Amino acid sequence: MTDATLVPPLPRLMVEPIVRSALLEDLGRAGDLTTDSIVPAEARFSGAIVARQSGIVAGTLTALLAFELLDPAIRVRVLRPDGSPIAPGEAVIALDGPARAILSAERVALNLLCRLSGVATATASLVEAARPHGKARIVCTRKTTPGLRSLEKHAVRAGGGANHRFGLDDAVLIKDNHVAVAGGVGPAIRRARAGVGHLVKIEVEVDTLAQLDEALAVGADAVLLDNMTPDTLRRAVAMIDGRAVSEASGRISRETVGAVASSGVDLISTGWITHSAPIVDLGLDVA
């Protein structure tokens, strides 16, 4: 469970182009043939988007924009802001206005809201499972839906997690293939240090304690401890001894995250919360 007041909203300027593109994809060249042929132009609709299952809300701005972009006359009230826990039957967003526009925007609004709430809910499940076992924060990766990264990373924050880098230009993350091409952990870090500015952090992925020792010797800012057992992770954290940020990754699940957190790592990163999180089921009901 997260405190919704602590989840800053995404800027409307950033979200609107994503929602607009989704509406254009759905409406196509001729608009909503079904609704426009059945629903009178003067018809009104009053209702709400309601939870069918428990979860954590994220993406309310995307739903709000889906309706408002089709018709500014639609009145939209967010009842449960991003980061709020919801239970079955609980209303998340209330709607009132022209029926045609509401029905035409319904699917885009629900697609985004259900998807992002799923990411927030998956994140919250790992946060809760890890909390009793240590200080580790749950962080996401770049394994996001193309075009939706900013939204999905916002949803991770709504679920109580934190963000890793947003793109390749945020920081240096030296992976195993970089190490192989560079000829080792040390050479890779030294080349990165020489090639980027003084404010850029450098993280390196290591698979063994020997590689970790090499990374620490040349001053890595952070180390990604990849697919290590909890026992090896504890040994790695002891070796690091506060000299770098420690991040564990690899096959993280609700069942394994507690043991990983108990090793004492600073961060636990997982792609599952963004690339494979199930949606939260929400639906539009008539009042």
Active site residue 213: no
Known catalytic residue: 143? yes
Rg (CA), the chain: 22
Q: Identify which of 63, 58, 62 has the alpha carbon closest to the alpha carbon of residue 83.
A: 58
Question: Which one of the listed residues 128, 221, 226, 281 is annotated catalytic?
Answer: 226
Q: How far apart are CA 270 and CA 261, in angstroms?
A: 13
Catalytic hit among 52, 107, 149, 201: 107
* 175 a catalytic residue: yes
Decide if 169 is catalytic.
no
Q: In 76-184, which residue ranges form alpha helices assigned H by DSSP?
A: 99-130, 149-158, 176-182
**Active-site residue 191, yes or no?**
no
Of 205, 214, 247, 266, the active-site residue reads 205
Q: Which amino acid is at 5?
A: T
Instruction: Find tokens 């880098």 and name the residue.
Output: 165
Greatest CA separation for the chain:
72
CA 59, 79, 112 angle in degrees (round to 5)? 20
Annotated catalytic residue: which of 175, 243, 251, 254? Answer: 175
Q: Which one from 20, 143, 191, 193 is the annotated catalytic residue?
A: 143
Active site residues: 107, 143, 175, 205, 226
